[in-house]
Amino acid sequence: MASSSQAVQSPPRHVAIVMDGNGRWARKRFMPRGMGHKAGVDALVKVVQATADRGIGYLTVFAFSSENWKRPEEEVSGLMSLLIVALSKYLAKLKDDGVRIRIAGDLDSVSDKVREALRGAERETQDNSRLVLTVAFNYGGRWDIVQACQRAMAAGLRPDQLDEQALAKFMTMNYAPDPDLFIRTGGEVRLSNFLLWQSAYAELFFTDCLWPDFDGAELDRALASFYARERRFGDVGTSGEGDGAIGVIEDVQPSSQGN
Ligand code: FPP
């Protein structure tokens, strides 16, 4: 049987980013947290360009999680206003740059103004195809799996018709390949309920860089790490024995056995 493992040679098709560290970036400068988020928007616009320039077709960013409502009311409303200001400031540029904006998340529980701004950005850029930028907004990975199950049931799928492929069609980002590279800035080493289903085989890259400082050079560091990986997708990989022989137990190298 042909091996499903592969040395990474081409750019990731899809990069997902948890943009963490805005608050600390601001605090280091004795600024309010909102200034960190504002700087985070500017960083995002530059990273969108850098991603497109590197031939990556899909970028998905965690802009507001379903857990972010727990933040102080002032910060939540600041993020909502920032979203609207950011779209009015940058939408035309993103459109000119060939970026298609898509939204993943539960927009039923956001204000009409925010929902309209997000849907308007989707409509405005729907003919673009250079880079698909998915903004995960009021998004949670568990929410995504639950809504997919609900929609599959509503579509009348019987339990015996439900498998991974069938459910994947109901996930919010059914238009995108699964992320190959999952980046988290800001030093925390966790997934925080982002793209749980889609990131099953993503390569993970964690950096201490605070999001507003993330740029093309930092993206290149993440890509260099990605290119150094051997993606095995559960197979033994090119460093394995390759002949299907298991061998005596003393010969088994732990590094060639894990997933
Ligand atoms: C995490 O940093 C970041 C966020 C919760 C929001 C990310 C948003 C942007 C980059 C701006 C674009 C999005 C919108 C909604 C306009 P943190 O605040 O948790 O930072 P900390 O861990 O240093 O406190």
Q: What is the CATH number of the domain that holds 59?
A: 3.40.1180.10
Whether residue 16 is predicted with pLDDT greater than 70 in this model: the reply is yes
How far, in Å, is the centroid of ligand 1 from the Cα of 64? 7
Whether residue 249 is predicted with pLDDT greater than 90 in this model: the reply is no
How far, in Å, is the centroid of ligand 1 from the Cα of 63? 7
> Which residue range(s) make up the domain with 153?
11-231
Residue 33 belongs to some domain of the structure? yes
Ligand 1 neighbourhood includes 23 CB (under 6 angstroms): yes
> Could you tell me which of 66, 235, 45 has the C-alpha nearest to residue 136?
66
Ligand 1 neighbourhood includes 59 CB (under 6 angstroms): no
Ligand 1 neighbourhood includes 21 CB (under 6 angstroms): yes
Residue 80 belongs to some domain of the structure? yes
Residue 60 belongs to some domain of the structure? yes
Question: What pTM was estimated for this model as a whole?
Answer: 0.89
Q: Residues with Cβ < 8 Å from 224, sequence gap 6 or more? A: none
Residues catalogued as catalytic: 20, 68
Residue 98 belongs to some domain of the structure? yes
How far, in Å, is the centroid of ligand 1 from the Cα of 186? 10
How far, in Å, is the centroid of ligand 1 from the Cα of 75? 10
pLDDT reported for residue 235:
81
The structural domain count of the chain equals 1
Each residue's pLDDT tens digit, 235-244:
877 654 444 4
Whether residue 167 is predicted with pLDDT greater than 50 in this model: the reply is yes
In one-letter notation, the amino acid at residue 111 is S
Whether residue 201 is predicted with pLDDT greater than 50 in this model: the reply is yes
Rg over CA atoms, the chain: 20
Atom of ligand 1 nearest to the CA of 43: 10
Residue 169 belongs to some domain of the structure? yes
pLDDT reported for residue 231:
82
Q: Residues with Cβ < 8 Å from 215, sequence gap 6 or more? A: 43, 46, 47, 50
Residue 240 belongs to some domain of the structure? no
Ligand 1 neighbourhood includes 86 CB (under 6 angstroms): yes
Q: Residues with Cβ < 8 Å from 197, sequence gap 6 or more? A: 141, 144, 145, 148, 168, 171
In one-letter notation, the amino acid at residue 85 is V
Q: Which is more confidently placed, 247 or 106?
A: 106
Ligand 1 neighbourhood includes 100 CB (under 6 angstroms): no
Each residue's pLDDT tens digit, 207-233:
999 999 999 999 999 999 999 998 878
Atom of ligand 1 nearest to the CA of 135: 13
Ligand 1 neighbourhood includes 37 CB (under 6 angstroms): yes
Residue 237 belongs to some domain of the structure? no
